[in-house]
Amino acid sequence: MPPAADEEKSSCPRGDEKLFLVIVLALAAIAGGGSWFAAGALRRHDATHLIAPDKPRQLETFSLTDSAGRTVTRDNVRGKILAVSFLFTSCSLTCPEVSRRMAEIQNLTTTNTDVRLLSLTVDPRTDTPPVLARWGAQFGADTNRWYLLTGDKAQLHRLIGTSFLATETNNPFNSMPGNFAGTERIAVVDKHGNVRVFFDGLRVETPAAVVAEIESLRKEK
């Protein structure tokens, strides 16, 4: 009897060790899968650094109001190369980051008289000229070169949807006014009004990439 009892006792740790090994392997597999998904997400994020338009897009005719209360039209930026972003001032995460990138682009193009920056609000009911003025002041916006634009909601949404961004009407998690997709992007528009490329406005290297694209476009006829 005593030897049998000893044998039973000695078998328990071996069983526990096997169970422990199974748990460790399962956790490793889960962790590995998580790493794989994380790596995949990073790859997708890298792929979105430079994004081609989903279809040929061109800056349409518009008449809007800037943060200084002035009327800005398509004619005011005709023949200019544009960096265009999208915002709503109640956004506390992505919009400030994108505006910081725009501020850097502004600083990097101070000597380029053929460059203008536009920021279009998707929430014009909230983003009146005084509200946009306060927003722009946070980022040192030069109102003679960086136009923060608001106006009639229907016109703004039509301009954004026609000239720049697709909509996600079937996405229940999209709380963006207008259901626009990709509002964190910064578009580069050539001097003929063609939307050439988008950049990820959340990346710190984007301002330099935008300026490089602008310099390339300046060499075109």
pLDDT of residue 22: 43
Of the chain, the end-to-end C-alpha distance in Å amounts to 98
pLDDT the model gives residue 168: 77
Contact assessment for residue 166 and residue 181, using Cβ atoms and an 8 Å cutoff: yes
Half-sphere exposure of residue 32: CA atoms within 13 angstroms, side-chain side: 6
pLDDT of residue 174: 52
Q: How many CB atoms lie within 10 A of CB 158?
A: 14
Q: Which two tokens stand for residue 179?
A: 């259901």
Q: What pTM value is reported for the model?
A: 0.76
How high is the pLDDT of residue 29? 40
Output the CA torsion 34→38→41→42 (10° steps): -160
Per-residue pLDDT tens digits of the chain, which is 221 residues long: 444 444 444 444 444 444 444 444 444 443 443 333 333 333 334 444 789 999 999 999 999 999 999 999 999 999 999 999 999 999 988 999 999 999 999 999 999 999 999 999 999 999 999 999 999 999 999 999 999 999 999 999 999 999 999 987 666 555 567 779 999 999 999 999 999 999 999 999 999 999 999 999 999 98
**SS3 of 219, please?**
coil
- The pLDDT score that the predictor gives to residue 173 is 55
pLDDT computed for residue 49 by the predictor: 72
Q: What does the DSSP 8-state code read for residue 114?
A: T
Going from the C-alpha of 221 to that of each of 3, 114, 119, 209, 216, the distances in angstroms are: 95, 13, 26, 21, 11
Cβ–Cβ < 8 Å for 87, 95: yes
The dihedrals phi and psi of 7, each to the nearest 5 degrees, come to -65, -40
How much is the pLDDT for 31?
Answer: 40
